[in-house]
Chain A
Amino acid sequence: MSASRTEAPAAPAQAAPAAGVPRRPPGLAGTVLALMRKELLVELRTLESVPGMALFAVSTFVVFHFALKASAIAGNLAAGVLWVTLLFAAMLGVNRLFVADAEQGGFDGFLLAPVDRSAMLIAKAGSLLLYLIALELVAVPAFALMLLGPPIWPSLPWLIVALGLADLGLAVIGTFVAALAVRTRSRDLIGPLIALPLLVPIAIGASSITAPLLSAGQQAGPPARWLLLLGLYDLVFGLIAYAVFDFLLED
């Protein structure tokens, strides 16, 4: 936000020499890149989302340690703890995803620009995906050090695949729900209430892949049907969000 604010007065001066020539509006990729750049710049300058999410995840592991009275967990329990923590930490990022745009006029500026509206969905989902990856770079090592019984190294490649597929779905659904909830009066309540049921299939798929990976005896790899389920769910929900997202910005 602050970036676009400071640039705003300079805009007429730049436009003045090319007054007669209408500037071609940027394409979808250009718009997405510009929006993502702004998003990441704001996050880098304010550090509003990612540090909070990471800190929340680590504190939740501490809480789980005391609530479960266990110092080393494995299998189903480990997968459940990891995914519940990641889902709730992601909720924190989802809740603030559009707040700055709604409160400080970012939506108005975007709607005035002659660009494709879907760029907003793609850029926000892309930013949320990067936030989630940053969150997991902290949370997964912390989980392996603090709570996980068996070593994490042998299962790491498949774990990364599961995390990636789940992150895609989280990013798409999170962006959709955040856009739906941000204009409501009780957005902090409505957002998670809508998001959690929609994320249940992702929780099912991700924890089913992760549970055997985190148990003591190593398996060859997760069954393909779970990867397929996660991938299909990401794809279908991505298409739905793409189809209806424009209607959320229409004013």
Chain B
Amino acid sequence: MSSSSRLRHLSVASALALTGALALVFFYAPTEADQGFLQKIFYIHVPLAIVCLCGFVAGGLLAIQHLRTGDSRWDLRSYVAIHMSLIFGVGVLITGSIWAKGSWGHWWVWDSPTLVSFLIIFLLYATYQPLRFSIEDPERQSRYASVFAIAAGAFVPMNFVAVRLSTAYVHPRVLGDTSNLPGPMALTFLISLGAFALLFLTLCMYETAAKRARAKARALKRKLSADGASAAPMRRRSAEPALGSATAANAGGRG
């Protein structure tokens, strides 16, 4: 019960933070002289990107924990972090494209190393779900997925360095560096970053709770059908991590 009240508090907090951040973006932050209203997308695009990349790296760290302990809950956390980061990543690419169209006149520009390296990382992580899906044994699936998450998490910073070296041009300097932002802009940016981080965390907790509930329901269903005469349904092949509790309940039901 405490987890559900914590979830409620977190959802209220992130809704408030997002509303506050958007209010600051539109009513408090000054309009930038060079790009005008378009620059407001910076307060959404950049926090989304930072949170997304941190989520990918966190997925790798959680995967290290999974391989060290062998506890499937860490695998679930790593899976949820990467899954949510992929969803945020779609948002980053869309907002980035809109910004590029507005300020450079093209939907996609290869001159911007940040955008390009983000795309490469996104393409790499897009194979995470197919990789999981094509391994049937749940134990091996979680182990291989963790190995992938660790290597890919280490790849994130290396790729940024490599792509940044390759392009002569750099992103407009409003990006990524708060030290040269005027005060109100920096404040708005930081609050927006916090709001998106909170949103990420809340969504991750929701997904984790949903996955746990589904595993529990599946285990109960299997137990029920084992008590009846009908054969127990097999676990559907999926990319989702199999939780220890589900398999344990399954074994208990069979035995």
Q: Is the CB of A183 within 8 A of B147?
A: no
Interface string of A172-207 (1 = CB under 8 A from B): 000010001101111101100110111011001100
Residues of A near B130 (CB, < 8 A) are: 186, 189-190, 193
User: How far, in whole Å, are A243 and B140 apart by their CA atoms in the complex?
Assistant: 18
Which residues of A201-222 are within 8 A (CB) of B? Answer: 201, 204-205, 208
Chief secondary structure at chain A's binding surface? helix
User: How far, in whole Å, are A205 and B166 apart by their CA atoms in the complex?
Assistant: 8
Residues of A near B121 (CB, < 8 A) are: 197
User: How far, in whole Å, are A205 and B159 apart by their CA atoms in the complex?
Assistant: 11
Name the contact of B124 in the complex, choosing from A198, A240, A241, A243 (C-beta under 8 A): A198
Q: Is the CB of B162 within 8 A of A204?
A: yes
Residues of B near A248 (CB, < 8 A) are: 143-144, 147
User: How far, in whole Å, are A236 and B143 apart by their CA atoms in the complex?
Assistant: 22
Q: Is the CB of B151 within 8 A of A186?
A: no
Chief secondary structure at chain B's binding surface? helix
Please tell me which stretch of B24-32, B33-41, B131-139 contacts chain A, meaning at least 4 of its Cβ atoms lie within 8 angstroms of it. Answer: B131-139
Q: Is the CB of A197 within 8 A of B134?
A: no
Closest B residue to A201 by beta carbon equals B162
Residues of A near B159 (CB, < 8 A) are: 200-201
Residues of A near B120 (CB, < 8 A) are: 197, 200
Please count the residue pairs between chain A and chain B whose beta carbons lie under 8 angstroms apart in the complex: 84
User: How far, in whole Å, are A47 and B131 apart by their CA atoms in the complex?
Assistant: 29
Residues of A near B213 (CB, < 8 A) are: none
Which residues of B132-161 are within 8 A (CB) of A? Answer: 134-136, 139-140, 143-144, 146-148, 150-151, 154-155, 158-159, 161
Q: Is the CB of A190 within 8 A of B162?
A: no
Interface string of B165-193 (1 = CB under 8 A from A): 11000000000000000000000000000
Residues of A near B155 (CB, < 8 A) are: 197-198
Q: Does A247 contact B (CB under 8 A)?
A: yes
Name the contact of B143 in the complex, choosing from A190, A226, A250 (C-beta under 8 A): A250
Q: Is the CB of B131 within 8 A of A204?
A: no
Residues of A near B127 (CB, < 8 A) are: 190, 193-194, 197
Closest A residue to B126 by beta carbon equals A193
Q: Is the CB of B131 within 8 A of A236?
A: no
Q: Is the CB of A208 within 8 A of B166?
A: yes
Q: Is the CB of A194 within 8 A of B162?
A: no
Q: Is the CB of A236 within 8 A of B158?
A: yes
Residues of B near A186 (CB, < 8 A) are: 130, 134
Which residues of A29-79 are within 8 A (CB) of B? Answer: none
- Minimum CB–CB distance from B40 to chain A (whole Å) comes to 31
User: How far, in whole Å, are A233 and B130 apart by their CA atoms in the complex?
Assistant: 26
Q: Is the CB of A185 within 8 A of B124?
A: no
Residues of B near A189 (CB, < 8 A) are: 130
Q: Is the CB of A204 within 8 A of B151?
A: no
- Minimum CB–CB distance from A13 to chain B (whole Å) comes to 36
Residues of B near A176 (CB, < 8 A) are: 151
Q: Does A229 contact B (CB under 8 A)?
A: yes
Q: Does B203 contact A (CB under 8 A)?
A: no
Q: Does A244 contact B (CB under 8 A)?
A: yes
Q: Can you identify 17 A-B contacts, CB atoms within 8 angstroms? A: A180-B144, A185-B134, A190-B134, A193-B127, A196-B123, A197-B121, A197-B127, A225-B165, A233-B158, A236-B158, A237-B151, A237-B158, A244-B67, A244-B150, A247-B67, A247-B146, A251-B140
Q: A190-B134, A204-B163 are in contact. List 20 more A-B contacts (CB 8 A).
A: A180-B147, A183-B135, A183-B140, A185-B134, A186-B134, A187-B134, A189-B130, A190-B127, A197-B127, A198-B151, A198-B155, A200-B159, A208-B166, A229-B161, A229-B162, A229-B165, A240-B154, A243-B150, A244-B150, A248-B147
